[in-house]
Amino acid sequence: MSHQRIKTPCVGLCSTVYGDLVCRGCKRFHHEVVSWNQYDEEEKRAVWLRLETLLVQVVQAKLEVFDAQRLRCQLEQRQIRFEVEQSVYCWAYRLIARGARAISQLEAYGVVLLPEFRDWALPALRDAIDREFFLLSQAHYERYIAPRFLRKGMLGRI
């Protein structure tokens, strides 16, 4: 992320209000959603970096960006919101997330599906990426965040 004011990763589909510990929309943890406006720039960058790393891991396993400039031009022409500083694989996800039903030739956007996904419809691929991204975020929460909250809770009882 650049040094400009850091935006929120919120996509307007918050599930933490329903009790989820990981938001199904933006994949942030509940405490990150609640405390976002109190975070300093470094804390916000750390959240964005984790989200980017997990999303890239999922997307790279399913497609290849072979022409980043073409992808960027297409995103800009279609006015699809994306973060220039992020990986081109995040850009590709934004394209698929917004245009899955309208895109017929993904190659025209500088992107190609890997062989094992070439028969997939883009809406199904988008849903699979989103589901896997959520599961990775949830696993990260359970592995690294939840134990700290449990320890803090147990210390308060001693």
For residue 15, what pLDDT band results from cuts at 50, 70 and 90? confident
Distance CA 17, CA 34 (A): 10
pLDDT at 114 (0 to 100):
98
| Encoded amino acid at 56, one letter | V
- Residue 29: what are its φ and ψ, rounded to 5°? -80, 155
96/1: higher pLDDT: 96
71 closest CA partner among 47, 48, 99: 99
- DSSP H/E element including 16: none
Give the pair of three-digit tokens for residue 30.
């509940």
- DSSP H/E element including 88: helix 88-99
Distance CA 5, CA 88 (A): 21
Contact 6, 41 (CB under 8 A): yes
Residue 158 clears pLDDT 80, i.e. is over it? no
Instruction: Give 25-81 pLDDT, tens digit per residue.
Output: 999 999 999 999 999 999 999 999 999 999 999 999 999 999 999 999 999 999 999
Instruction: Give 74-122 pLDDT, tens digit per residue.
Output: 999 999 999 999 999 999 999 999 999 999 999 999 999 999 999 999 9
pLDDT at 153 (0 to 100):
52
Distance CA 135, CA 132 (A): 5
Kindly tell me the burial class for residue 59, based on how many C-beta atoms sit within 10 Å of its own C-beta (0-12, 13-18, 19 or more). buried
For residue 4, what pLDDT band results from cuts at 50, 70 and 90? low
pLDDT at 139 (0 to 100):
95
